[in-house]
Structure 1
Amino acid sequence: MIQIRTRAWWRATLALSLGSFLVFINLYAPQPLLPELREAYGVSTLAVGLVMSVATLALAASLLVFGPLSDAIGRAAIMRLTLLAAGALSLGLSLAPSFEVLLVLRGLQGFVLGGLPAVAIAWMGDEFEPSAMLPAIGLYIGANSLGGISGRLVGGAVGEVAGSSASFLAVGVITQVGLVVFWKLLPTARGFVPRRFELRGAARDLAGHLRNPLLLAAYLLGGLNFLIFINQYSYLTFRLAQAPFELGPSVLGLVFLTYLGGTLGSSLSGRLARRLTPPACMMLGILILMGGTLVTLAGSLALIVLGLTINAFGFFLAHAMASSWVGRHAGQARGSASALYLVFYYSGASLGAFWLEPFWQVGAWPGVALASWLVLGVTLAIAAWLWRRQRP
């Protein structure tokens, strides 16, 4: 087993963090381009949001495939091959002739992007000692936020200069180069014990996880938190593209630097977990997210950016804790348990626009804030329930 802060630990953590970075740079590159794409294709706010939603929904569906499959055939090959396909599809997106083709390719890309998130934490569970796992997960999830930032920065900056096709091309090239490094860095798995893949057995594992209240609570918490967090950014791009801000795609991409607050939050999660229980950390993260949403109601761009940074810190703190909670409380079939958490997580992202859109239409950004607090109140109650369960 790999011990904490050894050479093997750093190599494996760096490889998985790089893979995570590549996944999220592909997933989120189109987000700052949504106002421009809405105008270019003459579609509604809800319709153009499908550029993000179809990818995250397909990603969620793929986790039900890759998680159980990895328990049978191993994790490394799945991570490598799906990253290769994701980069190739980014190159294909740069040639998409219509909005409909763009959505189809984004759906395919979302599916293959699920390969690494479905199995990375399960790979850690197989190979790392328990004490080495939590700090590695914190760094891995921090790379999620860095990938999300970079995707939006590249998407916005390149898109404003050369158009959306050039943005997809740039991301595709970055992915293929990064894949070479990932391929060489990832150590050979030694702790993996294959299980014969049986559809009935996989379904039984998934059903068993859903019947475990400690896991189901974490699934709901992660999915509902992400439903709010990621879709807030989409609606803020519409808000900031309008008067009085009237920001262009490249500047909208810079707004996503607020994700660095999430990098800090996930990186500190391991230290906080030594002082507070994981459910208490989840509660703290949700309360911070609720407070950051309040700050975004200000009319000042600086305060909006501050509010987003606070949101990112709180969200990723809660997310890191919920992810590690699943890894520690799944008695068997860790791959499918982690995958099921991410199914809820990305399903929430896909469905968020349908929840927030009516509030946006009626109340603009204050309506989105109200909708956010309603859902976050539910996740705070879930975290409090976990805290009471763990307290004895």
Structure 2
Amino acid sequence: MSVDASLTRSWAGHDAGSSGYRRILIGLFAAGIATFGQMYSTQGILPTVAHALEVDEASAALTVSMATLGLAVSVLGWSWIADRIGRAPAMKIALSISLVLGLLTPLAPGFTTLLVLRSLEGLALGGVPALAVAYLAEEIHVRHVSLAAAIYISGTTVGGLLGRVITGPFADLGGWRLGVTAGGVLSAIAAIIAITLIPRARGWVRPTGKPETSVRDGVLANLRDPGMLVLYGQAALLMGGFVATYNYLGFRLEREPFGLPVAISSQIFFAYLGGTVSSSVAGRLAATHGRRKVMLTCVVITIVGVAMTLPDNLAMVLTGLFVLTTGFFGAHGVASGWVGARARVGKAQASALYNLFYYGGSSLFGWLLGYAYVVGWWGVATAVLLLALTSLTWSWLAARD
């Protein structure tokens, strides 16, 4: 964009050890917890939601899908807002709105109102993932941006995990409303910490003049790139199958032959810790062995994990879930980095499109595969396997380093 270069170079960024650096790291870590803790607060208690509101499995999963869909469609909009008011104010507005909506959600009088509130939450929450990394790049010294981004991403992982596992025990005690309230309070505390600590931006300069690449041109350029379409398609297919697995496995574990209470079945999300490790490991391996080879290997691992969940053996199911999660996050870590490296025009739009397909696939398949559950877990697992095999074949034929 056309800006005064001297202005953008006058600020080198907060250096490690400074007060501003610590505030940004803690603030964005808290923002990650607030965002993803709230987004997935219903996923661990979907059976409880279904029973209480008298809806089927696929309908209950809409409480997750509507939030992720809201996030997917709002990413570009938040980028537009941030270009006009700055990234820090935009993130704080997003967190403030989502804080209020998160505390209102347990008060929903019925299922339709619950879905509306979850959609609005998603729209608000999109402001953090859309802007956080760009904010870091402007406010942290270049030597420390990678570490700062990793800390923020770890916050999103912790938030997604806590949001899922904290709701189960509370829902077991007092129903889905108490469970979602617990998740909402956790996210509200994290949001307040983030809003308080994230410092005023010093590296952002309001764009002036006509941008070198318009949003429309950046979007079209990336959609015309066959390689990008492969990465976007893989994001939609793998994320869709991954979310569907977690959406409906809880229903299976609460029924025979397992019969686990929601307080226990909701703890399956600790398998996410495998993904926390695999995403960074896969990124390092891709640098030495090539992105395509590592990504395809991770997809194969995902497929193996899904197959392991088929037998009615709890140890096998949980091990398979861990393997699936490890493979999925490895593939996601490679693909998301590949998008940024491949984009020659419209890097911001390339990343936004990846998020759009990623969360769009989560919304669509996370809901749609619930109808496969009418024939039992075999139906869901088979559908997830088909999505993963399609992704594997597509990537094998088209993806190139």
Match among 173, 178, 199 for residue 161 of structure 1: 173
Query: What does 1:1-392 correspond to in 2, within 5 Å?
Result: 12-126=24-138, 136-186=148-198, 188-195=200-207, 201-353=214-366, 355-362=368-375, 364-384=376-396, 387-388=399-400, 390=401
CA contact (8 A) 1:125 1:334 kept: no
Structure 2 counterpart of 1:35, one-letter code: P
Classify 1:184/1:274 alpha carbon distance in 2 versus 1 (closer, same or farther; 3 Å): farther
CA contact (8 A) 2:88 2:199 kept: no
Structure 1 counterpart of 2:128, one-letter code: L
**1:166 aligned counterpart, secondary structure:** helix
CA deviation profile, 1:217-265 (whole Å, cap 9, x unmatched)? 3222212110010111111111111111122221121111111111111
Offset of residue 193 of structure 1: 4.7
Offset of residue 202 of structure 1: 2.6
Aligned length: 388
**2:207 aligned counterpart, secondary structure:** coil
Greater Cα radius of gyration, structure 1 or 2: 2
**1:94 aligned counterpart, secondary structure:** helix
Structure 2 counterpart of 1:273, one-letter code: A
User: Match for residue 3 of structure 2?
Assistant: none
CA distance in 2, matches of 1:186, 1:84: 13
**2:173 aligned counterpart, secondary structure:** helix
CA distance in 2, matches of 1:39, 1:210: 42
CA deviation profile, 1:279-331 (whole Å, cap 9, x unmatched)? 33322221111111111112221221111111111111111222222233334
Identify the range of structure 1 (68-77 vs 79-88) with the bigger mean alpha-carbon deviation: 68-77
Offset of residue 272 of structure 1: 2.4
Classify 1:223/1:3 alpha carbon distance in 2 versus 1 (closer, same or farther; 3 Å): farther
Structure 2 counterpart of 1:296, one-letter code: T
CA distance in 1, matches of 2:84, 2:192: 25
| Unpaired segments ≥5 residues, structure 1 | none
CA contact (8 A) 2:250 2:266 kept: no
CA contact (8 A) 2:48 2:175 kept: no
CA deviation profile, 1:177-226 (whole Å, cap 9, x unmatched)? 22233235435545445435999933233222222334333222212110
Structure 2 counterpart of 1:30, one-letter code: T
Classify 1:196/1:228 alpha carbon distance in 2 versus 1 (closer, same or farther; 3 Å): farther
Work out the percentage of aligned pairs sharing the same amino acid. 34
CA distance in 2, matches of 1:248, 1:279: 41
Classify 1:4/1:293 alpha carbon distance in 2 versus 1 (closer, same or farther; 3 Å): farther
* TM-score normalised over the length of structure 1: 0.88
**2:256 aligned counterpart, secondary structure:** coil
* TM-score normalised over the length of structure 2: 0.86
CA distance in 1, matches of 2:125, 2:74: 8
Classify 1:236/1:31 alpha carbon distance in 2 versus 1 (closer, same or farther; 3 Å): same
